[in-house]
A and B are shown apart, each in its own frame.
Chain A
């Protein structure tokens, strides 16, 4: 038994050495071209989020004149199909066949768990433009991992803090019945100290919320907090408005009312609240340029996903530029990445020791634009220079 284990670990280390050798050889060979693997969900109902990230990223590349950090840039786009096994296969292709120096992705948190290890173990930088799970923010933080969005909990915390500050006493919580839904409730309760009148976990993908909304109406809470991404959020918002609740019970939400769902929610969403690091109307020059150019290029209002994709491109641009295009020097690249030395549409932010941003968070509200399209707009700042609660467990300094 012992001998078997030894020989197996021997094979593994030989493989690892071979992979490392291949990576080094590849880097030496392709020093003039910057190769980036862009991976997200591009098929199925959630494709609209991955598409926003990609659009934002490609706009960032375009703003850099097609040359991130002054280097000839090749972006290889992959669809992870929202399936972990597919994602692992494609990320290995990116690493071993295409020999990319950066992987930008994925869109969804469950996919991050699949690709984080293969990418970081190949000593390749993984820039997540959206997914920010708690496990990689704490003990398992990694020097090759950077996040241009947020730690997932923080968005839910925004609404909890707002409910607490606003003096709400009784709040009704409703999220889908899976890990992210339970994390959402925990995040909300981190700052909310009032009474939770009921917690409802609905099946993932539920279409009709009439039963739950009748319960909300009968309990008459001070506010509803919910996290219903994608199609679920569209159904919930329309039905919330139709049940006549939108005008009587404040609707506090995370990832439920944003630029990806507003085109379908339309007037039903007006006045409903969300939490985010940014909104299209955030007043700074970098954001004005970003929103105007995005709309010119793609014809839709960018959401936070697009902004985070855009910043992933800007982040790579700034770091490669700072190191003078030396892609082999990973330590120098890491130091440059950490500085986040670029003009983000969300305003200046810096990276925490765990590779997640320390940044401002806002309460946002759905509104109609003068051109008839819909967007979220800043209501008030909830957190300033806010880092996540897991960073203290990260051994990196």
Chain B
């Protein structure tokens, strides 16, 4: 049982890391620009599709990843310049409608370009195979790679946000954007940079999961909801909040799915436990979100003094 628990904990970490990569961009964009970007999940989908496409051209995993990263960054810049820039000053309802429209448009566009049939990316030779953690319980190497890359990105982001000039501007922007602008910082450029970088992070998440999940139109829509849960739990605008919020959601969701039946069996019959457990475990993270919002409406790691 302990072996199984460790495997499930790793699974939870891996889901958490994935959510962190998506939520990091979302929370920055929301926190710094006060902009709700529903289309963030689409950038995750695009990352996956671009990786598949570049892998098709080059046949090399790492090259495909790098090219896809550049392409998602450029696409983020394009979206920001052409569309999003015009929406920052609008209210949240306009932003929701416009970015929802972008979801619909890009989901269909992806289908037109790459077809409706799901695609996939093979795991690179180096990262295939699995490590035995307990007798009969193997853990795929590639999932370790996902966890590892997530922690590396997390550490790098932490360093950039807390120890560089640009990071200072981002923190200041999250705190009080008009004041930053008044102090002579080109806030438009800062926004563009943050946005494109956030898009690239979401794209990176999409690239990393392409060998594990099916690459299909609309794949970003379901993770987007979880990413919003993460940033609400973690505190809007906070990278640290996104990180711990994501790990919390990932681990709780996974452990809930794995052990809810066993937990319920203590109280009720097996049949009843099986009937109730799936519903309960799907609700779990939303219940926790509700509890956290009730106790700490600003999230677990709020940005200090953020102007609503």
- Interface positions of A (Cβ within 8 A of B): 43-45, 47-48, 51, 177, 198-203, 205, 207-208, 210-212, 214-215, 217-218, 220, 230-231, 234-235, 238-239, 242-244, 260-261, 263-267
Contact = CB atoms under 8 A, between A and B. Distances in A.
B136 interface: yes
Contacts of B217: 44-45
B214 A264 contact: yes
A243 B211 contact: no
B212 A43 contact: no
Given A203-B278, A210-B11, 6 more contacts: A44-B217, A231-B214, A234-B120, A235-B214, A244-B140, A264-B119
B117 interface: yes
25 contacts: A45-B116, A45-B218, A51-B116, A177-B282, A200-B278, A202-B278, A207-B223, A208-B213, A210-B254, A214-B7, A218-B3, A230-B118, A231-B118, A231-B213, A231-B214, A234-B120, A238-B120, A239-B212, A242-B128, A261-B118, A264-B117, A264-B120, A264-B214, A265-B120, A266-B120
Contact of A264 (B128, B215, B223, B257): B215
B276 to A, nearest CB: 10
A267 B122 CA distance: 9
A207 B213 contact: yes
A265 B14 CA distance: 22
B278 A211 contact: no
B142 A242 contact: yes
Contacts of B211: 238
B142 A234 contact: no
Contact of B118 (A43, A210, A264, A267): A264
A244 B130 contact: yes
A263 B11 CA distance: 27
B123 A45 contact: no
B176 interface: no
Closest 6 CB pairs of A and B: A234-B214, A47-B116, A210-B11, A264-B118, A201-B278, A242-B140
Contacts of B119: 263-264
A214 B214 contact: no
Contact of B4 (A51, A208, A218): A218
A235 B137 contact: no
B8 interface: yes
A230 B214 CA distance: 9
Contact of A235 (B3, B15, B213, B254): B213
Contact of A217 (B136, B218, B279): B136
B212 to A, nearest CB: 6
A251 to B, nearest CB: 16
Contacts of B279: 177
B283 to A, nearest CB: 10
B282 A214 contact: no
Contacts of A202: 257, 278
B8 A214 contact: yes
B31 to A, nearest CB: 27
Contact of A43 (B11, B108, B140, B222): B108
Contacts of A243: 130, 138-140
Contact of A211 (B108, B130, B209, B254): B254
Interface residues of B, number: 49
Contacts of A235: 212-214
B111 interface: yes
Contacts of B254: 210-211
B274 interface: yes
A200 B259 CA distance: 11
Contacts of B130: 242-244
B143 interface: yes
A238 B212 contact: yes
Nearest to B253: A211
A214 B11 contact: yes
A48 B4 CA distance: 37
Contacts of A231: 118, 213-214, 216, 219
A242 B131 CA distance: 11
A65 to B, nearest CB: 30
A45 B118 CA distance: 8
Nearest to A234: B214
B149 interface: no
B117 A260 contact: yes
Given A211-B11, A218-B136, A242 B116 contact: no
B216 A45 contact: yes
Interface string B193-237: 000000000000000010111111111001100000000000000
A249 to B, nearest CB: 10
B61 to A, nearest CB: 15
Contacts of A51: 116
B218 A214 contact: no
A205 B128 CA distance: 25
A312 to B, nearest CB: 21
A192 to B, nearest CB: 17
A201 B274 contact: yes
B181 interface: no
A208 B257 CA distance: 11
B214 A238 contact: yes
Given A45-B118, A210-B143, A199 B274 contact: yes
Contacts of A199: 274
A242 B123 contact: yes
A117 to B, nearest CB: 29
A301 to B, nearest CB: 12
A265 B216 CA distance: 12
A211 B14 CA distance: 11
A185 to B, nearest CB: 10
| Of B11, B15, B257, most A-chain CB atoms within 10 Å | B257
Contacts of A267: 122
Contacts of A198: 261
Contacts of B12: 211
Interface string B1-45: 101100110011011000000000000000000000000000000
Contacts of A261: 118
Nearest to B3: A218
